[in-house]
A and B are shown apart, each in its own frame.
Chain A
Amino acid sequence: MSELKLQIKQLIVDALNLEDLRPEDIGDDQALFDDGLGLDSIDALELGVALRKKYLLKLDAGDASVRAAFRCVNTLAELVHARRTDSERTANE
């Protein structure tokens, strides 16, 4: 799981082209938006696109649980972990 979190942090830095931030600067539980990392609504869209691409996730932006998952790296990692397991299970069935 910590491997996945680091991956997600790297993804945030790369996808959003964050100039003054390294992956290790992002706290697992640090809010990504508002007072935390200060990402904005456009960043949210781009991060969504990057996550869908990298982990082949199907994310519905209208889904409240998805929106909640964008709170911090921990919640994103849980989302990716859960959805990936879901899709693997689906593939096995």
Chain B
Amino acid sequence: MTVPSTTPFIAISKLFATPRAAGHPACVSREGTIGWAKLSSQVGAICTALSARLESRWLIAADDVLEFCASLLGALHAGKRAVIAPNLGEGTLRDLRSAYDASIGTAIPADIDPLTLAPIPWSARQLDPDAAALDLYTSGSSGVPKRVTKRLRQLEAEVQALETCWGAMLADATVISTVPHHHIYGLLFRLLWPLSAGRPFDPALYAEPSGLLHATATYGRIALISSPAHLSRLPELLALDALLPGVRCIFSSGAPLPAACAQQFRLAAGHAPVEVYGSTETGGIGWRQRSDDPHDDLWTPFPQIEFPGSGSEEPRLRSPYLEPGAEVRLDDEITLLADGRFRLGARLDRIAKVEGKRVSLPEMEDQLRRHPWVQDAAATVLSRSRDEVGAAVVLRPRGIDEAKRDRRVVIGALRDFLRAWQDPVAVPKRWRFVAALPLDTRGKLSAAAVRALFEAATAAALPPIRSQRPGPQRIEFELYLPGDLPCFDGHFPGLPVLPGVIQVDWAIRLARRHLGCSGRFRGIDNLRFQSVVVPERALNLLLETSADATRLSFRYTLGERKCSSGTILFRP
């Protein structure tokens, strides 16, 4: 597959109005090549079908990149707004139901199935890049998808900048991706940029590392559009030496690439991946490629990017990828250097005010990680009667041993350690020692989950459930009581016993969850504690409820031995 080195760069709005050679490969895969003429006739068919419809906002519901590409461009050519959901899950589409009028694609039962449309030759006109627009969605920190509208002109400006920066380096490489096409990064890097540059792209999502080796064998030279999640695992999964000679350039975006991972690629390939910094809302902001200097962490802004308010607590962004004159507030601290490059500081939402003192949570986490007992740490600010910092810590084996003997010794040591850097007000007062930090599906630390570690009434944390046997109006559990359940702590020193109030609380909470006891607590009858419950044992719990779920009887047993029982009354 050779692409003539003279392949012209064509803006997306002029893509089909400017002839490319009909046989020029638009899209390549192991199944074969889709030439430019075929892509154009598919876009034409979709444009014609959508032009006959009145609905103006079209959800592009395609899992397949080529189908997505034809539907997106067809919709734009039909004068429609293209709506690109963050995913096509039922819940997401329910939330977005007022955001589009109709749908095209095969990923869901859509209004138009593009595969049923016969490709037709058409004479495409040039799109108006200010009128043509896409609605993208960010996942949003609050969990609600947030709409970001992009005019085609903004996306074209980004694609032009990418070609200016790396076009010569990529040359005739085939574009391979491990990231999806429906987020801004994938949309720009794996779809719109290759289309404009006339660089063939492979529509497959390369989830399997071995596929990458096939790709270099098939295509000769590839450009890899990837993410830290993928790249950081790659060295363990395949020999970089075998892969990298066929790779012209690797791009990484979505989260910071660990410095060690960047160095691994640099040592194996001679150059580190190009990391791209930006978001759906901002578009691309800057990029960096790590050198052999581990302290070199500077970013180069894309052309014409400006940072009004850099160095302040409210840095803003001015960019050719935004609406003219628009400014966006940045979530990250930006320090601008004299040579135009910038250093990225902590996420501003991770810089907290604790009783008026400014505290950088990432810095504190770094400091904790320097302690020999600490493997990883996450800090959060808790607002109770006062602001205070909580630290969730993953201990190394030595730390775990110490904590088993006396967790207060560990807490004291870590607090003393942090005092070397931190104001006393910022030193964490709440500590949780956990087996792993709560990461979300994208591998990002979930701030809400960290906070939940502290907010939960941890003394009453439910024990692990080994098995459960549900029946009509009843359920039996086998619970296991690990010795480090917080409720054993101090109850009693040297003689851990499961507190009775915890037993009642567990019964109520499990009944609310499994037996539909939703009424307010009214009282307890026949409460009996017959023998003590000690840790490191399997404990059986039987819950039975009345038909109207207002009476709940519970019985805890250790083997044959009755431990406690009672009847809990709920209001109807």
Contact = CB atoms under 8 A, between A and B. Distances in A.
The CB with the most chain B CB atoms within 10 A, among A21, A35, A38, A39, is that of A38
Interface in A1-52: 17-22, 25, 33-35, 38-42, 46
Interface stretch (B93-101, B266-274, B407-415, B540-548): B407-415
Interface stretch (B220-228, B421-429, B495-503): B421-429
Contact of A40 (B407, B416, B424, B430): B424
Contacts of B407: 20
Interface in B352-375: 355
A33 B416 contact: no
A33 B431 contact: no
B386 interface: yes
Contacts of A46: 385-386
B109 interface: no
Given A38-B419, A41-B425, A42-B355, A20 B408 contact: yes
A18 B431 CA distance: 11
Contacts, number: 35
B244 to A, nearest CB: 50
Contacts of A34: 424
A17 B454 CA distance: 13
Contacts of A25: 408
B559 interface: no
Interface string B114-157: 00000000000000000000000000000000000000000000
Contacts of A18: 429
The CB with the most chain A CB atoms within 10 A, among B386, B427, B430, is that of B386
B408 A38 contact: no
Contacts of B427: 38, 40
B490 interface: yes
A12 to B, nearest CB: 13
Interface string B482-493: 000000001000
Contacts of A40: 423-425, 427
A17 B425 contact: no
Given A33-B424, A42-B425, A17 B384 contact: yes
A45 to B, nearest CB: 9
Interface residues of A, number: 16
A19 B424 contact: no
Contacts of A22: 490
Contact of A21 (B384, B408, B425): B408
B386 A42 contact: yes
Nearest to A46: B386
Contacts of B419: 35, 38
A35 B429 CA distance: 14
Given A17-B385, A18-B429, A22-B490, A38 B415 contact: yes
A15 to B, nearest CB: 10
A19 B386 contact: no
Contacts of B411: 20
A21 B425 CA distance: 18
B408 A41 contact: no
B434 to A, nearest CB: 15
A22 B408 CA distance: 10
B111 to A, nearest CB: 57
Contacts of A38: 415-416, 419, 424, 427
Contacts of A41: 355, 424-425
B405 to A, nearest CB: 14
B451 to A, nearest CB: 15
A21 B489 CA distance: 11
A16 to B, nearest CB: 8
A22 B425 CA distance: 21
A19 B429 contact: yes
A60 B141 CA distance: 46
B386 A35 contact: no
A42 B356 CA distance: 11
Contacts of B408: 20-21, 25
Contacts of B425: 40-42
Contacts of B423: 40
Interface in B378-406: 384-386
A41 B384 CA distance: 16
Nearest to A18: B429
Nearest to B423: A40
A35 B355 contact: no
The CB with the most chain A CB atoms within 10 A, among B408, B415, B427, B429, is that of B429
11 contacts: A18-B429, A19-B430, A20-B407, A20-B411, A33-B424, A34-B424, A35-B416, A38-B419, A41-B425, A42-B386, A46-B385
Given A20-B408, A22-B490, A40-B423, 20 more contacts: A17-B384, A18-B429, A19-B429, A19-B430, A20-B411, A21-B408, A35-B416, A35-B419, A38-B416, A38-B419, A38-B424, A40-B424, A40-B425, A40-B427, A41-B355, A41-B424, A41-B425, A42-B386, A46-B385, A46-B386
Q: Which 8 A-B pairs have the closest CB atoms?
A: A40-B424, A40-B425, A42-B355, A20-B411, A20-B408, A42-B386, A38-B415, A19-B430
Interface of B: 355, 384-386, 407-408, 411, 415-416, 419, 423-425, 427, 429-431, 490
